[in-house]
Structure 1
Amino acid sequence: MPDRISLETKGVVIHQGATPISQTIHPGEIVGLAGLDGHGQERFLEVLAGLQAPFSGEVLLDKAGRSTAIGGFRKAVANGVAYLPRDRRATGIFPTQSVLDNFAISTVGRDARLGLISFASRRRRYETYREKLSISAPKPTAAITALSGGNQQKVLLARALALEPGVLLLNDPTRGVDVATRHVLYDVFRELAREGMALVILSSEIEEILLLCGRVLVFRENHVAAEMSGETMTTENVIAAMFGRAA
């Protein structure tokens, strides 16, 4: 069971002159990010992951009452944050490597025994996540490129979950995957939240956000133009906020 971690932004400015963003994402919460392309939601997610530095403000992780500032991607990962990129081909998979190597590349140290890699341990960890995510692969040693796009995405998610994070940041996680894979991923995300993980999901599909998330932050011109939850979280309201109109 991963640690229960809260993710907080204090006065985070993602673009010069933009309004500061102060938010807290709690354990067990799924928060959606929406907006027109280029309006800041992706940059905000990358700031949360430590991949981009904010113009000002800070991102804090709270674990067991102790706060830690994210000072970069490595520090974020070390403190329980996992990030799933949008473009799996360009920034996710290692196309010349096997399914097993793609899965294990972020957690090599966990397979070491007396200074040597235990391939049996690596295989067992992979099998755990293969079953959990219903990964369809001919064999672990098969090339990652032999898998469908949806199964490649599942391998990347398995890699992220193998870090045992308390916070999972997802950049358009169902982009380009088939309907069956999409629903498997939805079930996994909901189960992770039930177990106490905090999830932030950027999606280009409003319906997906409404289906999965307890609240949504709508970005316009690099700041949060609207925050919605409950009955106010409708397609019409999200679209209106994206275009700077009153619902």
Structure 2
Amino acid sequence: MADRATLSVRSLVIAPGASPVTQAIAPGEIVGLAGLDGHGQERFLKVLAGLERPAAGDVTIEARAITSFRKAVASGIAYLPRDRRSTGIFPTQSVLDNFAVSTLSRDMRFGLLSFAARRRRYEAYREKLSIVAPRPDASITTLSGGNQQKVLLARALALEPAILLLNDPTRGVDVATRHVLYDVFRGLAADGMALVILSSEIEEILLLCHRVLVFREQQVAAEITGNEMKSDTVIAAMFGRAA
């Protein structure tokens, strides 16, 4: 894994007229993002990933500015998209090709692609994430939704990031897969990775995260920690009310 690193957000304005956001997301921390649809939490996550530009402010990791998706990846940030069918998987490709597409350079030996090295990396992540797939050369579309999601997560983890950004990572997956993913996320944090998780399910955020940022009208309406980490408190902040 990449060296432990802090993701710093300074005076970040994600939409004109919104209040700035300043945050530090530390190694080993799991930060949740909540809010009603369209209130800024997804845009904030995409700004962290270098996929969108803010109205003002900056995002840095160990003094390196994140101004594009390429720079984010090079700086140790990995992003798992929300809609795996349209922005995640390559449906005409195999399970193995979907896994390895972002890390081909790591499988090169003397200028040539080592299929054995690629297969070994895939098998390590297949075991770690309990991916159920008939064989590596099977089409990705033969897998269940949950296993497709695990392949995308394996692809992100193969980058060995310091920061993992997850956009509704358990959306559309079964309960068993969900709990496998929860265990993986907790294990990554225990190993020093920083995670930012946007979830449409409040209970998921409360179960996984050390603190939660609640977005309302394109800005952080509340930061909730400790004993205040309860559904009522999060919901109240989402609707602009006191708990």
TM over 0.5: yes
1:49-198 aligned at under 5 Å gives the runs 49-62=49-62, 67-198=63-194
Q: Which secondary structure does the structure 2 equivalent of 1:5 belong to?
A: coil
- Which of 220, 223, 231 is the equivalent residue of 1:235? 231
Q: Deviations over 1:191-245 (max 9, x none)?
A: 0000000000000000000000000000000000000111011100000000000
Match of 2:199 among 203, 211, 219: 203
- CA distance, structure 2, for counterparts of residue 229 and residue 9 of structure 1: 19
- Following the alignment from structure 2 to structure 1, what is the Cα–Cα distance between the partners of residues 64 and 110? 32
Counterpart of 2:237 in structure 1: which amino acid? A
Question: 2:47 — aligned with what?
Answer: 47
Q: Distance in 1 between matches of 2:149 and 2:175?
A: 13
Of residues 219, 224, 238, the one that matches 2:215 is 219
Uncovered stretches (5+) of structure 1, i.e. residues with no partner: none
SS in 2 for 1:8: strand
1:149-203 deviation per Cα after TM superposition (whole angstroms, max 9, x unaligned): 0000000000000000000000000000000000000000000000000000000
Q: Name the SS of the counterpart of 2:6 in structure 1.
A: strand
Stretches (4+) displaced over 3 A? none
Counterpart-to-counterpart distance in 2, 1:8 and 1:114 = 38
Residue 43 of structure 2 aligns to a residue whose secondary structure is: helix
Shift of 1:2: 2.7
Percent of aligned positions that are identical:
75
CA distance in 1, matches of 2:42, 2:182: 20
Q: Name the TM-score, length of structure 1 as normaliser.
A: 0.98
CA distance in 2, matches of 1:133, 1:82: 17
Q: Which letter maps to 1:69?
A: A
Counterparts of 2:86 and 2:189, CA distance in 1 = 28
Q: Distance in 2 between matches of 1:2 and 1:69?
A: 17
- Residue in 1 that maps onto 2:13: 13
Root-mean-square deviation (CA), in Å?
0.5
- Whole-Å Cα distance in 2 between the matches of residues 179 and 19 of structure 1? 37
2:33 and 2:100 map into 1 onto residues whose CA distance is: 29
The residue type paired with residue 158 of structure 1 is: A
Per-residue CA deviations over 1:94-134 (Å, capped at 9, x if unaligned) read 00000000000000000111111000000000000000000
Is the counterpart of residue 244 in structure 1 residue 222 in structure 2? no
C-alpha separation in 2, matches of 1:52 and 1:20: 16
Count of aligned residue pairs for this structure pair: 243
Q: Which runs of 5 or more residues in structure 2 are unaligned?
A: none
